[in-house]
Amino acid sequence: MGTPRVIIPLDVSSAEAALKLVVTLAPHVDSFKVGLQLTGRIGLPVAVKIVRDHGGKCLVDHKLHDIPNTVVEAVQAIVDHGASAFTIHASAGPEVLQAAAKVKGNVKMYAVTVLTSMDTMECLMLYKDSPEMTVRHLAEVALAAGADGIICSPKEVALLRQTFGLNFLIITPGVRPSWASTDDQSRIMTPGDAIKAGADFLVVGRPITQPPTAIGSSLDAVQCVNEEIRLALET
């Protein structure tokens, strides 16, 4: 296997369920993402510790969006707990992003652009522009303010690479293998196509944590996704 590119969201509600996924999948993935579903139940320090104790890297996906002082305090806590990365909304604005960048040290800061559950109509209603143009604008703001990477749908990856080049990381949720159901995701692509478009890391949740019976276990599912990524990188 080459460098792992999959990030597993620990979208579960107990330490036991998180531990089971971490122990099973850690050797096969880049990192684990902990969000409000898990940290709201077991707390951020415990969630990060479960991942780190089993050799995993932990991305804290709290999608920060607040005034600069509050965000700085939240980032300092995330850094102190030993996370490897965190997310922040690009729409929090340059002042907030710059303040977070100043205190993050080596921890990677990823800016969330337009949520992958949002379709074109909703995006037009909210931002008065298409997902592509909105993502491009928010990414420009975030990269100028010191973000290490951008979170967007796989559909916007090629545009971001064309516009801003290769010198930043892209994580894409909204990834669905052809054998998985789309669930509540809207702007989706397969793992192979997302990698070919230029994504560095793919967040793949339910297709791996709750795989269809025909695929088998979570371990079988992650191996299928890794194989699809390997083939995409070869072509």
- 21, 29, 31, 35: residue in contact with ligand C5P (rule CB under 6 A): 35
Task: Catalytic residue, from 20, 49, 63, 196: name it.
Answer: 63
CB of 98 to ligand C5P, least distance (A): 22
Residue with Cβ nearer ligand C5P (71 or 221): 221
| Positions 91 through 150 that interact with ligand C5P (CB under 6 A) | 112, 115-116
CB of 206 to ligand C5P, least distance (A): 4
Residue with Cβ nearer ligand C5P (107 or 110): 110
Q: What is d(CA 62, CA 144) in angstroms, rounded to the nearest whole number?
A: 21
- 64, 85, 159, 203: residue in contact with ligand C5P (rule CB under 6 A): 203
- Contact window for ligand C5P (CB under 6 A) among 78-86, 127-135, 155-163, 198-206: 198-206
**Exposure class string for 124-156: b at 16+ Cβ within 10 A, else e:** eeebeeebbebbbbbbebbbebbbbbbbbbbbb
- Contact window for ligand C5P (CB under 6 A) among 94-102, 130-138, 199-207, 212-220: 199-207
Tokens of 191: 């793992």
8 A C-beta contact, residue 68 and residue 96: yes
Q: Indicate if 63 belongs to the active site.
A: yes
Q: What is d(CA 85, CA 59) in angstroms, rounded to the nearest whole number?
A: 5
Cα 93 off chain centre by: 20
- E-assigned strand segments in the chain: 6-9, 31-35, 58-64, 85-89, 108-112, 149-151, 169-172, 201-203
CB of 151 to ligand C5P, least distance (A): 5
Q: What is d(CA 222, CA 5) in angstroms, rounded to the nearest whole number?
A: 11
CB of 169 to ligand C5P, least distance (A): 14
8 A C-beta contact, residue 75 and residue 92: no
| 183 touches ligand C5P by CB under 6 A | yes
Site residues for ligand C5P per CB under 6 A: 9, 11, 35, 112, 115-116, 151, 173-174, 183, 185, 203-206
- Point out the residues that are catalytic: 63
